Structure 1
C-alpha cells in the first residue's frame, strides 16, 4: 500500500479503493480492511492522537505518566533496567552496571532528596505489607513531605517517620492500629508512637476519632467462620447505641468485639469469646468485661 494518507469520512469508510477488488476500505483502530473481500491492507497503525482524555482541542497533547507525590521527583525521572535483561558481552554488561549506578546517584541533588526518597520507599513498602489502598499511600507520602518541609525529621528516624505517616493516613481513611504498622515497620512501636505524636501536633493533622461501628466489619472479616449479614448489621446497631450512651466510654475495639459477641448470642451462633477476641486482637478478659458492661447498659 502507498504511503498516502487515507481520506476517511466520519463513518470510518475510506474513499480509497481496494487494490484487489476495488471495494471500499474500512479503517478501524486496529486495521484497514476491504468491506467486500476482507483483504487486510494495513494493520497495527500508530495512533498520533492524545494519550490523555481532554475535551479541549487546544490542550490535547501526548504526554508521559502522570506526576505522583509518592516519588521524591514526582515520578519525572527515568529508570534504567538491570544488565541481566540485556543481551551482550560481559564488557557491555559491566559498562551498563556502571551507568546504572551513576544514573541512580545523579537522581538526588542533595541529601535532603535522598532522605525523602528513602522515606517514600518505606511508605510504599508499609502500605503494600498492610494491604492498604493507593489513597492511603498518596496521603502518607504527602504528609511525609510536609514533615520534611517543616524540618521535623531531626531526632526521628526515617523508618519511624514513615510508620507514623502511614498510621496517620490510615486513621483518616480506614481503621488501623499502630501495633499492625509496627509489626511490619523497621522500628519499634514506642518510637513510632513518639514520632506520630510529634508530627500530629506540629502538622495539626485532623485525625478522626475511631468509633466502635468502624471496627465491627473488620472484626467480622477476621473471624474463622462466615457471619450472616443480619448478625453484622445487628452488631453495628448495638455498637452505635453504645457509642451514643454516655455511660459507656472506652476502647472502641473492645466495645465492637462485645457487640459482635452479643449479636452472635442473639442469633444463636457458635462464636466463642476466644474466636472473637482473637479476631479483635484483645484478651478474653477484656472482651468479657465489655460484654458485661454492654449487657448491663441494655438491661437498664
Structure 2
C-alpha cells in the first residue's frame, strides 16, 4: 500500500492535519478541513479530528512561514501576556536536586527578577488587577473565557484612564461582574463582593463606571437565568425547573419583573412551582441561596399566586 492511500483517511504528521476527502458519507455534502478537523459544510458531521500533536506548542514570529516551537501561546490574563520567566527553587529541569550554593544564587536572581518585572507603575497596577481577576474567577468557578474577557476589559479601562482615583480591586471586580452580565452568567453583586477584597458598594461603583464610560453591551437580567442554579442547589426535579421557567416567562411577558431583583423573583418562581407540585422548600433557604431576604421571596410568591389565579 502506498503512502497516498494511507493519508486519504489517516493523519498527516507533516502538516498536523487530516487530508480532505471528497464527499460526506452521511449526506454527500462538501468536506472541509479546519484546524485538523474534517467536517461537512452541509450537515455539520465531524468526519475525523486531528490526533495528538507531540511536537509541542508553537508560536509564529512575524512571518507565518517561519514556525518556531518556543512555548505556550500568549494570553491576555497576564500583564506580560505570558512571556514571563520562572526561576526554579529546589530542583532543576531534570528533577535533580540543586546544591545549596546554587540555590542561594537562584534566590538572589529570583529577588532581582521580581524587582525588574515591572517597567512602570502602570504595568504594576495592571499585574495587580489581572491577579485579582484571576483570583475572583477561580473562587467563583467561572470559565476561562470569562477571565480572558474580564482581563481585556480591565486593560481597556486602564487605557481609558478609569483607574485614576479609584480602587484597582473595585474595577477588577466590576470587570468580572460586567462580563458575567454580558455572557448571561448568573452571578449577583453579593456573590462577587463576598470573595472580593472590597465591599459590595465599591464593586457596584466599579461596574457602573465601566458601564457608563465604556458603553458596555449589558443586557437586562432575566429571572430565568437564576432558576437552574436554585433548582440544582435544592436538588429539585427537572419538572419543577420547567414549571418555574414557564412561570417566569409568563411573568416577564406580563411585565411583572420590571424593577425587581431577578434573583429574588426567580426564587419566588421556584417556590410557586414547588408548591404546585407538592414539594416543600423552605423560603429562608431559597432566600439565602438567592442572596435576598425571605420577605422578598414571600412578596414575589404572593404576586405570582395572584397573577396565576390561585
CA positional deviation for 1:261: 0.9
Q: Is the 8 A contact 1:238 1:259 kept in 2?
A: yes
CA positional deviation for 1:189: 1.5
Q: After TM superposition, where is structure 1 displaced by more than 6 Å over at least 4 residues in a row?
A: none
1:235 is matched with which residue: 233, 244, 248? 244
Unpaired runs of 5+ in structure 2? Answer: 7-12, 14-52
Output the CA distance in 1 between the equivalents of 2:174 and 2:54.
Answer: 45
Q: Is the 8 A contact 1:50 1:61 kept in 2?
A: no
User: Is the alpha carbon distance of 1:157 and 1:211 closer, same or farther for their aligned partners in structure 2, counting shifts above 3 Å?
Assistant: same
User: Is the alpha carbon distance of 1:11 and 1:100 closer, same or farther for their aligned partners in structure 2, counting shifts above 3 Å?
Assistant: farther
Q: Normalising to structure 2: TM-score of the pair?
A: 0.75
User: Is the alpha carbon distance of 1:145 and 1:252 closer, same or farther for their aligned partners in structure 2, counting shifts above 3 Å?
Assistant: same
Matches within 5 A, 1:167-246: 167-173=177-183, 174-223=185-234, 226-246=235-255
CA positional deviation for 1:105: 2.5
Output the CA distance in 2 between the equivalents of 1:248 and 1:209.
Answer: 11
Output the CA distance in 2 between the equivalents of 1:240 and 1:197.
Answer: 28
SS of the residue 2:107 aligns to: helix
Pairs aligned (count) = 256
Cα-to-partner distance string for 1:127-157 (whole Å, 9 max, x where unaligned): 1011111011001100000011011111112
CA positional deviation for 1:209: 1.0
CA positional deviation for 1:290: 0.6
Unpaired runs of 5+ in structure 1? Answer: 1-8, 14-28, 30-46
Q: Is the 8 A contact 1:70 1:138 kept in 2?
A: yes
Question: Is the counterpart of residue 70 in structure 1 residue 80 in structure 2?
Answer: no
Output the CA distance in 1 between the equivalents of 2:214 and 2:246.
Answer: 35
SS of the residue 1:84 aligns to: coil
User: Is the alpha carbon distance of 1:102 and 1:212 closer, same or farther for their aligned partners in structure 2, counting shifts above 3 Å?
Assistant: same
| Structure of greater Rg | 1
Q: Normalising to structure 1: TM-score of the pair?
A: 0.78
User: Is the alpha carbon distance of 1:48 and 1:10 closer, same or farther for their aligned partners in structure 2, counting shifts above 3 Å?
Assistant: farther
SS of the residue 2:166 aligns to: coil
Match of 2:151 in 1: 141
Match of 1:85 in 2: 91
User: Is the alpha carbon distance of 1:53 and 1:121 closer, same or farther for their aligned partners in structure 2, counting shifts above 3 Å?
Assistant: closer
Question: Is the counterpart of residue 254 in structure 1 residue 260 in structure 2?
Answer: no
Output the CA distance in 2 between the equivalents of 1:120 and 1:266.
Answer: 47
CA-based RMSD of the aligned residues comes to 2.7
Cα-to-partner distance string for 1:229-255 (whole Å, 9 max, x where unaligned): 111011011011111112453221222
